[in-house]
Amino acid sequence: MASNPFSLQGKVALVTGANTGLGQGIALALAAAGADIAAAGIVPADETGEKVKALGRRFLNVDANLISIEPVTRIVEETVAGLGGLDILVNNAGLIRRADAVDFSEKDWDDVMNVNIKSAFFMSQAAGRHFIAQGRGKIINIASMLSFQGGIRVPSYTASKSGIAGITRLLANEWAAKGINVNAIAPGYMATDNTAQLRADEDRNKAILDRIPASRWGEPADLGGTAVFLASSAADYVNGAVIPVDGGWLAR
């Protein structure tokens, strides 16, 4: 084991949806641990890039619409060409649409499933081919409390995040012996754009905070330590785990 098993010095990490929120928090934590960062998404992650560069790491924007799986091979190829390799994939990009199940539209179902689960699988496949060829790699999927629970008014989000837990375990089963660690982080209630509607609802916000032992919403930076751990050699014998980072929500 390395003298500092948590160091990511010399590693390249590809983070989808890194322009804001959880993706940005994870990208900055990986950069602070030594990794160069490629950010893939439809919105350029310029702010993230400036912060990564301020940490002394290289940064690459990769334009990609993850509602379609068409760009996944290109994303990996551009990352390898632009930063000289690929060691870590973080499947963070995600959508959420809210409506009662009896009113939920097919478009809202398809858009969420395409980004949250379909793109995550095929990004993992594209990166996995590269990792298998080099004999090592780390994949971190972003799951959810709704990988464990049903939730309300988010049917496609619940289905997609339940699926993330499943494919995390499946890929770990297939690839652990090839030197590839596939794991997931399940964030609790985090203060991001996706939860702005919930936080603005006074009654719902209070109900959520009353349930969280830590008595606060999580921040994107709260995921950083777990992401660095799973991306590092310290987690070389961690396979197929879905790790909650939730302020104690599931323990309640």
- Amino acid letter at 64? A
**Cα–Cα distance measured from residue 22 to residue 14, given in angstroms and rounded to the nearest whole number:** 14
Catalytic-residue membership of 157: yes
- Per the DSSP assignment, residues forming a β-bridge with 89 are 14, 139
- Per the DSSP assignment, residues forming a β-bridge with 142 are 185
**Cα–Cα distance measured from residue 138 to residue 90, given in angstroms and rounded to the nearest whole number:** 8
Tokens describing residue 112: 């969420």
The residue from 59, 121, 122, 157 that is catalytic is: 157
- Amino acid letter at 40? A
Compute the C-alpha angle 251/118/110, nearest 5°: 95
Hey, which residues are catalytic here? 157
